Amino acid sequence: MVQFGELEDVKLREVWGHEAHDFTPWLASNIERLSSAIGIPMDLEGTEVAVEQFSADIVARNPADGR
């Protein structure tokens, strides 16, 4: 028999208190979940990557076509 859990609403800041220190590392370590959810294969290239005077939270590459 399959058992299901219950979904519950949570405040995002209770789970990930700081975007760069909490959410970005979590997302980077779960990039396959994002990849599956949006239907695009992704290989993580890096986090907080310098792009001119800014930082990209996550840089990923599609292994199928290199984009």
Averaged pLDDT in 10-residue chunks for the chain of 67 residues: 92 91 94 96 95 94 94
**pLDDT at residue 65, rounded to an integer:** 94
Report residue 26: phi and psi, to 5°: -65, -50
pTM over 0.85: no
Report residue 60: phi and psi, to 5°: -135, 155
**Helix (H) / strand (E) containing 12:** helix 12-15
Judged by DSSP in three states, 38 sits in helix
Residues in the chain: 67
**pLDDT at residue 9, rounded to an integer:** 94
Domain boundaries, the chain: 17-61
